[in-house]
Amino acid sequence: MTALPPVTAERADGKPPRLQLEGVRHAYGQLQVLDGVSLHLSEGELVTILGPSGCGKSTIFSILTGAVCQNSGDVLIDDAPLGPRTERFAVMPQTDALLPWRRVIDNVTLGLEVQGLSRRAARARAQPLLATFGLEDFARAYPFQLSGGMRQRAALLRTVVQDRSVLLLDEPFGALDALTRTDMQTWLESVWDTFRWSVLLITHDIREAVFLSDRIYVLSPRPARVVAEITVQLTRPRRMDQMSSPVFVRAETQLREVLFDTRVQGDHPDPLPSR
Amino acid sequence: MSPPTAAHPMAVRRRRNRLTWLPALAIIAVGVAIWQVYATKSGINAHVLPSPVRVAESGWAARDALWTNTIPTLKETTLGFCLATLAGFALSVGIDASRILRNAVMPLLIGSQTLPLVAIAPLVIIWFGFGLTPKILLVALLSFFPITIGFLEGYQATDPDVERLLVSMGAGRSRVFRTARLPTAMPFFFAGLRIAITYSVVVAIFAEYAGATSGLGVYMQQAQNVYRTDLVFAAVLLTSFLTIALFAATYLLERVMIPWYRLSRQTQRR
């Protein structure tokens, strides 16, 4: 097994992390899913949780959004314990979950409307962002009239416009074809570079993780622990040609080795899919 | 920062086939032709089987009486339908919100559909008189069931990811219901509505048979009593037209209420 680098809660500049998980454990009945997961996310950082499917990545998000309460361990946001329904997170689920009866603009403002904003005020907040997300000509279209990439961009806009502390992206491009996915990854990197949201990303795509992240946590198969933490030493903005650079390739190789090592040693070498 | 492009979404190809009515019309025309030839050439008594031409002529001659009797039937059907929709919706909301209510009410709902109309119609007339009320109630009783089931199936079809997403946004149960479950159920509601509407006119007419002062059911009964089979047929035809018109009206209503639904189906079929 790869040696664990010490997980430092404090950053070099001494600022407390935006989000911190300390020894979070959770079981669904007899099934131990999280076995002491510790990780942290700083302001304006893009951190990825990488792990085999069914390892409990999505359970972490469920705990953060309050859908599930962990058995033990602490979740701190801005150094304060996470209460129930604190609504500090905006989630982008695996499926885009766009409502087919709402036009794009009304899908995008959904979170704001749930927060209690009037339709007019919500639209005013979302309108300026439509162009950045390539949706300005499609605000009045229905989701079924959009391509897969556009649907995903609409879903991301719906997430960021809520203006929450942390964005949780759960395999956002998992349902897309390979070409569109690459397109979307480069596009996401460029908008993230502009806005610098604090993002926690779940994926099982190693290349996506390296290309997008500042840091990567690798989880073991169920019950999940952090088995490695890797800082990606690539300059921003990232470009496609960096994918063949030695730094990129080294990170990719390292991650693949960790993932396959733990798969062989894990209690569940062939984990069940999460749903 | 140019996002990936896609083909313009509004380019939904419209494939309008204006000849969809033709096969139905052709079949009806052939049927009517055979009927006409048989009724006139076989020497069968016109009281037993009047020819279609004769039905049309007598129907036209009796158009005033037919029309005045259509109005109460139409009223009973539409009012019964409104009542069924209201009751069906209210029931579905309650059942969806509470498991206890579901367990308590579902057997009753299914039981209500086993009541034989022949037995129950005269009773309802005895209880509520010869006016519109008992007919409205009977139409509602027999048509609320598919509507309720339509709503319930529709709520169940809600995407769990959408519900989780709404909860993560801070939505409560009623918000989730209004924003996700109810809109998801609307196409299912219309499917239930269409099932119900095909037999609601017949139920209204049967209820009139059991006791009424006016309506197509009464008219048919009176025509039968004086062996005016041609007028019975005319009234039956009118009933069919009424049902088809109401059936078509549900599509019109659907287009107005959930315009996205037809569009999405057209897009998917491309």
Percent of chain B with pLDDT over 70: 93
Least confident of A120-129, B16-25, B91-100, B214-223: B16-25
Residue B178, Cβ neighbours under 10 Å: how many? 11
List C-alpha distances in Å: B147 to A239, B111, B188, B195.
Answer: 56, 16, 8, 8
CA B13 to chain A, closest CA, distance in angstroms equals: 12
Put simply, whether A81 touches B (Cβ < 8 Å) is no
ipTM value: 0.85
Number of domains in chain B: 1
Decide the pairing of beta strands A215-219 and A46-50.
parallel
Q: How does DSSP assign A188-243, residue by residue?
A: HHHHHHHH---EEEEES-HHHHHHH-SEEEEEPSSSB-EEEEEE----SS--GGGG
Give the CATH number of the domain where residue B221 resides. Answer: 1.10.3720.10
Residue A243 has pLDDT above 70, yes or no: yes
Distance CA B142, CA B126 (A): 18
pLDDT at B31: 95
Residue B239 has pLDDT above 70, yes or no: yes
Residue A264 has pLDDT above 80, yes or no: no
pLDDT band at B12 (very low <50, low <70, confident <90, very high): very low
CA A111 to chain B, closest CA, distance in angstroms equals: 6
Residues from chain B that touch A110, judged by Cβ atoms under 8 A, are: 166, 169, 179
Answer for the pair B219, B64: CB distance below 8 angstroms, yes or no.
no
Least confident of A1-15, A249-263, B214-228, B245-259: A1-15
Q: For residue B132, tell me if it sits in a domain.
A: yes
B-contacting residues of A 128-187, CB under 8 Å?
132-134, 137-138, 141-142, 144-147, 149-150, 153, 162, 180, 183-184, 187
Residue A120 has pLDDT above 90, yes or no: yes
B131 contact partners, CB below 8 Å, separation of at least 6: none
CATH number of A16-88+165-275: 3.40.50.300
Put simply, whether A240 touches B (Cβ < 8 Å) is no
Partner residue facing A93 (CB), from B165, B171, B175: B165
Tokens for B87, please give them. 């009751």
Interface test with B, best of A65, A94, A103, A144 (most B CBs within 10 A): A144
Q: What is the pLDDT of residues B205-223, one digit of tens each?
A: 999 988 888 999 999 999 9
Q: For residue B260, tell me if it sits in a domain.
A: yes
Least confident of A8-17, A62-71, A130-139, B248-257: A8-17
Q: For residue B19, tell me if it sits in a domain.
A: no
Decide the pairing of beta strands A80-81 and A31-41.
unpaired
Closest CA to B76 of B149, B151, B146, B130: B130
Q: For residue B20, tell me if it sits in a domain.
A: no
CA A16 to chain B, closest CA, distance in angstroms equals: 25
Over residues A206-213, the mean pLDDT reads 94
* Inter-chain touch B175–A114, beta carbons under 8 Å: yes
pLDDT at B165: 93
Q: Determine the straight-line distance between the first and last CA of chain B, rounded to whole angstroms.
A: 31
CA A112 to chain B, closest CA, distance in angstroms equals: 8
List C-alpha distances in Å: A33 to A28, A36, A200, B221, B235.
Answer: 7, 10, 19, 72, 70
Residues from chain A that touch B165, judged by Cβ atoms under 8 A, are: 91, 93, 97
Over residues A243-262, the mean pLDDT reads 90
pLDDT band at A199 (very low <50, low <70, confident <90, very high): very high
Over residues B119-125, the mean pLDDT reads 90
Residue B248 has pLDDT above 80, yes or no: yes
Please confirm whether the linkage preceding A237 is cis (ω < 30° from 0). yes
Nearest 5°: the CA angle A177, A44, A97 is 35
Least confident of A7-16, A263-272, B4-13: B4-13
Over residues B139-148, the mean pLDDT reads 93
Residues from chain A that touch B7, judged by Cβ atoms under 8 A, are: 147
Domain extents for chain A?
16-88+165-275, 97-164
pLDDT at A11: 46
Please confirm whether the linkage preceding A223 is cis (ω < 30° from 0). yes
pLDDT band at A14 (very low <50, low <70, confident <90, very high): low
Tokens for A124, please give them. 């005013």
Residues from chain A that touch B175, judged by Cβ atoms under 8 A, are: 114
A-contacting residues of B 148-187, CB under 8 Å?
159, 161-162, 164-171, 175, 179-180, 183, 186
pLDDT at A1: 43
Residues from chain A that touch B180, judged by Cβ atoms under 8 A, are: 99
Closest CA to B206 of B83, B85, B119: B119
CA B193 to chain A, closest CA, distance in angstroms equals: 20
Least confident of A78-92, A177-191, B211-225: A78-92
pLDDT at B212: 85
Question: Which structural domain, as residue segments, surrounds residue B109?
Answer: 51-269
CA B180 to chain A, closest CA, distance in angstroms equals: 8
Residue A169 has pLDDT above 70, yes or no: yes
Residue B13 has pLDDT above 70, yes or no: no
Residue A82 has pLDDT above 70, yes or no: yes
Torsion angle in degrees (nearest 10) through CA of A39, A40, A46, A52 = 10
Which alpha helices (H) appear in chain B, and where do they start and end?
Answer: 22-41, 52-61, 63-97, 99-112, 117-128, 132-156, 160-168, 173-176, 182-209, 216-225, 229-257, 259-269
DSSP state, residue B177: I
Q: For residue B4, tell me if it sits in a domain.
A: no
Write phi, then psi, for B213 (nearest 5 degrees).
-100, -25
Answer for the pair A109, A123: CB distance below 8 angstroms, yes or no.
yes
pLDDT at A78: 87
Over residues B257-264, the mean pLDDT reads 90
Tokens for B152, please give them. 């319930």
* Inter-chain touch B183–A99, beta carbons under 8 Å: yes
Q: Which residue in chain B is spatially nearest to A237 when comparing CA positions?
A: B1
Interface test with B, best of A69, A96, A110 (most B CBs within 10 A): A110
Decide the pairing of beta strands A215-219 and A226-231.
antiparallel
Least confident of A7-21, A66-80, B163-177: A7-21
Distance CA B201, CA B240 (A): 9
pLDDT band at B131 (very low <50, low <70, confident <90, very high): confident
Nearest 5°: the CA angle B241, B242, B248 is 85
What is chain B's mean pLDDT, rounded? 89
The larger pLDDT score, comparing residue A98 to residue A79, is at: A98
pLDDT at A123: 94
pLDDT band at B263 (very low <50, low <70, confident <90, very high): confident
* Inter-chain touch A142–B4, beta carbons under 8 Å: no
Percent of chain A with pLDDT over 90: 63
Q: How does DSSP assign A52-68, residue by residue?
A: -TTSSHHHHHHHHHTSS
Q: What is the pLDDT of residues B156-209, one digit of tens each?
A: 999 999 999 999 898 999 999 999 999 999 999 999 999 999 989 999 999 998
Tokens for A31, please give them. 């099934």
Crossing angle of helices B182-209 and B216-225, rounded to 10°:
30
Write the burial class of residue B136 (CB in 10 Å: 0-12 exposed, 13-18 middle, 19+ buried). buried
Q: Which residue in chain A is spatially nearest to B180 when comparing CA positions?
A: A99
CA B24: distance to chain centroid? 20
Put simply, whether B263 touches A (Cβ < 8 Å) is yes
Closest CA to A174 of A200, A199, A205, A147: A205
Over residues B55-59, the mean pLDDT reads 94
